[in-house]
Amino acid sequence: MLLALVALPLRAEIVDRILAVVGTRVITWSDVLAETNYQAFLGGQEPVTPDKSLPRDPILSRLIDQRLLEQERDALPLSFPDEGEAGRRLEEIRQRFPEPEAYQRALARYRLTEADLVARLEREANLMAFVERRLRPQVRLNPAEVEHYYSETLTPELRRQGQSAVPPLAEVRERIEQVLTEQEINRRLDEWLRDLRERRGIKILP
């Protein structure tokens, strides 16, 4: 849900303005533009230029969530290493291009440098590590949940796909537990963010 967790400023020639205040942190128009282009770069979509209208609301909402989580993380005297996730993602991105020159041209087209990209990936992975550390220990699955998912979700889906032989529960239990755990983490994250939005001072400007 929260795989875009960085918002770095764009070039100085852009006339900026504040769109939102989250506690002591601000989110600017250039933050939204940068985040939009970062997501477009990752998703293979067309970049957005300053003279085009931006999909402001969904991007701004994402950035507000990021700022809220960053404030929670920064309040703790702990570090949350990403265990190499940022490096793996960077290598996957590089592999999408046939040659280094094409990769560099693409970065420039989206108004990014590799340093920008690395910083974003590292900050994103760090924040996700914080969320995992905070929420995963709270998840407790019971056998009935696993069995219900197996019989009511996995088995019907496999049969719709034309698979006549459904693997026994014992063979897929671990994978089901992973799916259910991720679903529960996402649910708890949504609740946490709603609570943070209510408790923290958020001001959205026109």
- Average of pLDDT values for 113-142? 94
Among positive and negative, which fits the CA dihedral 122, 124, 126, 132?
A: negative
Alpha-carbon separation of residue 13 from 111, 115, 133, 136, 153 (angstroms): 12, 19, 39, 43, 52
Given the DSSP bridges, would you call strands 202-204 and 25-28 parallel, antiparallel or unpaired?
unpaired
Show the DSSP H helices in the chain as ranges. Answer: 29-43, 56-74, 85-95, 100-109, 114-135, 143-149, 155-160, 169-199
Digit-coded pLDDT (tens) for 18-66: 999 998 899 999 999 999 999 999 999 999 887 666 668 899 999 999 9
| Under 8 Å between Cβ of 48 and 109 | no
CB atoms within 10 A of CB 57: 10
On whether residue 11 sits in a domain, the answer given is no
The highest-confidence range among 81-85, 123-127, 179-183, by mean pLDDT, is 179-183
Contacts of 84 (CB under 8 A, 6+ apart): none
On whether residue 8 sits in a domain, the answer given is no
Digit-coded pLDDT (tens) for 139-158: 999 999 999 999 999 999 99
The highest-confidence range among 46-50, 113-117, 123-127, 201-205, by mean pLDDT, is 113-117
Indicate the DSSP class of residue 166.
P
pLDDT-wise least confident of 44-58, 88-102, 130-144? 44-58
More confident residue, 1 or 195: 195
Structural domain range at position 167: 18-204
- State the CATH number of the domain containing residue 22: 1.10.4030.10
On whether residue 4 sits in a domain, the answer given is no
Alpha-carbon separation of residue 15 from 28, 54, 166, 174, 204 (angstroms): 10, 15, 59, 52, 19
On whether residue 131 sits in a domain, the answer given is yes
Number of domains making up the chain: 1
Mean of the per-residue pLDDT values for the chain?
Answer: 89
Residue 63 CA to residue 18 CA, distance in Å, equals: 13
User: Which pLDDT belongs to residue 52?
Assistant: 64
On whether residue 113 sits in a domain, the answer given is yes
